[in-house]
Structure 1
Amino acid sequence: MGKISVAGVIVIAKVALIFLAALSVVLLILYSGLRHRSRLARRRRQGRKVGWGKIPLSSIYEISPHFERNERGPLASTEVRHIANDNTPGGVSDYESWILCNLAKRAKSIFEFGTATGKTTYLLGANSPTETTVYTLTLALTEHASYQHASGDARGDFANAIKESKFDQFVYSGTTIARKVVQLYGDSKTFPYHTYYDCMDLIFIDGSHARSYIESDSKNALAMLRAGGYILWHDYRGPDVTPGVFEALNLLSDNMPLIQIRGTCLVLYQKPLDA
């Protein structure tokens, strides 16, 4: 082999330095991304355990007398029919689902904002009394263009809402629970709710996470809620993950007693019996 000239060595050294510099940049970007994800994960865990500071945090056992436990854990009276969350699109955690299913046991009329796969719809129907009706609202596949993005809504909220509205068959479809379900279609900002005013015992808000939709859905839910009934909002995950939910519920908490359920991203409101 021939000898490499001094000029050749210099070129090789420059190429190596450029490669090392580029590799350093890539590694720095990857490291920054991992740190950011780790920070978000820590904040989410912190938010579920100690809250976000604005809305008070309480155990479900302190909130509702229908949840009981002893040193061995929850009592058998809290048993529910259940389907695990195995990466279910738009799904809630198993613990959150257990809470919703127990609240459904005493509800005669239930309204759900955001059907998604229909898994939660199915569970609400499966764990509620025989005479219960579950109303669930989603955008039809042909109505995606009617989504009303507002200034101030996070950019990703539209894409997430459309992604969770892509189903035309649901978990409850073809089951014995289907007879208890009334599937409604439309944009939740413009849907005519007046038929359901003051009729609902349990309302679950898990549609679009955009602030304008949370504000609109909350207003309509409050109009539909019967005295003594519950509203639960999902995805109160803090300002980094769901800023629209976070901002809207924090603002709403200035005017009504909202509670974040410990260990979840659920926020709960119960309408007074004398309201």
Structure 2
Amino acid sequence: MAKERDRMSSSTKISWYLANLRNLLVVCVRVFIYCCIHPREFYRLSFYFFSTLNEFYQVSHGALEDFEKTRLCAQMKSHMILARSNVFNAEAFVTRPSETQTLAALVCHLRPRTIFEIGTYNGFTTLHFAYNSPDDCKVYTLDLPPDFELEDERNYSYDDLMVVELSKKNIARRVYKQDPLGRKITELFGDSEKFDFSPYYGKMDVIFIDGNHSYRYVESDTGNAFRMLSPNGVIVWHDYDYIIHRDVFKYLNSLARRHRIYAIRHTRFAIYGKNI
């Protein structure tokens, strides 16, 4: 009887796998046909495919440690964090809904008094900082001025050039402009490589780097971030991915030889903190 049950169980398992394989093939064929009919949807499919592939590449070829091993992660898992985030407003091709929620939860847990963001774009993450930080928190966000003229486009990747142009056009329409919590936000303008960060040295509890993604700028922004960092502060980098932002990936892997930097799963975030 036992052998008969084992044979039946093995047969059932094989049938289950074959059925799922058949379903997978059906889905692949149907999605291929759909993308042929709707070419724009192929871009969205490619985005999600490469995003998933990139997550595996972070683990297989990245030099960062796993955020899950930190005390900070354990603390965040130990209680309910009711962060405020609207995933329906997120621009998935800029900041994914899961990343917005992660950032909101991180700020909600850390309760920073000061936040500095390099790279404002449409102000979506900026507003999340304002909503999830204490009432007296000051949020500073730095971006290029509307009259900024590019001196050398070689310092910018294609996606950075697009963001620069969109950001300049949307300065007056940033999402926090009409929000009551916009009072917590101070807009700063300038090229982050030339900007004078000295008034903020040693004072920032959370620093978010999401500006120019070239190696030169990421290195410069990171150097300034370390100088601005408060004793218990954290630095968060966006776009730790090889496929689109190879320079960020290479620089952070290099920096990891000197500092303990952690990759946050299912996001393109990397994080550093002396006491995390």
Name the one with the larger helix percent.
2
Classify 1:219/1:97 alpha carbon distance in 2 versus 1 (closer, same or farther; 3 Å).
Answer: same
CA distance in 2, matches of 1:119, 1:180: 14
- Equivalent residue number for residue 12 of structure 1: none
Q: Is the 8 A contact 1:85 1:92 kept in 2?
A: no
Q: Is the 8 A contact 1:260 1:267 kept in 2?
A: yes
Secondary structure of residue in 1 paired with 2:147: helix
Secondary structure of residue in 2 paired with 1:229: strand
Structural mapping, 1:228-247, within 5 Å: 228-238=232-242, 240-247=243-250
- Aligned-pair RMSD on alpha carbons? 2.9
Classify 1:164/1:64 alpha carbon distance in 2 versus 1 (closer, same or farther; 3 Å).
Answer: farther
- Equivalent residue number for residue 185 of structure 1: 189
Deviation (angstroms), 1:172? 0.5
Deviation (angstroms), 1:243? 0.9
Of 249, 252, 264, which residue of structure 2 is paired with 1:249? 252
Structural mapping, 1:149-164, within 5 Å: 155-156=157-158, 158-164=160-166
Q: Which runs of 5+ in 2 are unaligned?
A: 1-35
Secondary structure of residue in 1 paired with 2:61: coil
Of 209, 214, 223, which residue of structure 2 is paired with 1:205? 209
CA distance in 2, matches of 1:47, 1:63: 24
- Equivalent residue number for residue 266 of structure 1: 269
TM (normalized to structure 2)?
A: 0.74
Of 165, 172, 175, which residue of structure 1 is paired with 2:167? 165
CA distance in 2, matches of 1:90, 1:201: 27
- Equivalent residue number for residue 107 of structure 2: 104
- Equivalent residue number for residue 43 of structure 1: 53
Aligned length: 231
Q: Is the 8 A contact 2:68 2:74 kept in 1?
A: no
- Equivalent residue number for residue 174 of structure 1: 178
- Equivalent residue number for residue 67 of structure 1: 76
Of 184, 203, 219, which residue of structure 2 is paired with 1:215? 219
Cα displacement string for residues 19-44 of structure 1 (whole angstroms, at most 9, x for unaligned residues) = xxxxxxxx9xx9xx99xx59745522
Classify 1:89/1:44 alpha carbon distance in 2 versus 1 (closer, same or farther; 3 Å).
Answer: closer
Classify 1:60/1:123 alpha carbon distance in 2 versus 1 (closer, same or farther; 3 Å).
Answer: farther
CA distance in 2, matches of 1:60, 1:171: 35
Cα displacement string for residues 190-215 of structure 1 (whole angstroms, at most 9, x for unaligned residues) = 11100000000001111111111110
User: What amino acid is the match of 2:117?
Assistant: E
- Equivalent residue number for residue 123 of structure 1: 128
Structural mapping, 1:85-96, within 5 Å: 86=89, 88=91, 91-96=94-99
Residue 139 (str. 1) matches residue 149 (str. 2): no
Cα displacement string for residues 199-253 of structure 1 (whole angstroms, at most 9, x for unaligned residues) = 0000111111111111011000000000111100001112x22111111111111
Deviation (angstroms), 1:161? 4.3
Mean CA deviation greater in 157-166 or 252-261: 157-166
Identity of aligned residues (%): 30
Secondary structure of residue in 2 paired with 1:126: helix
Q: Is the 8 A contact 2:62 2:253 kept in 1?
A: no
- Equivalent residue number for residue 85 of structure 2: 82
CA distance in 2, matches of 1:160, 1:248: 22
Mean CA deviation greater in 93-102 or 200-209: 93-102
Deviation (angstroms), 1:174? 1.8
Secondary structure of residue in 2 paired with 1:64: helix
Q: Which runs of 5+ in 1 are unaligned?
A: 1-26, 70-74
CA distance in 2, matches of 1:158, 1:98: 23
Residue 56 (str. 1) matches residue 65 (str. 2): yes
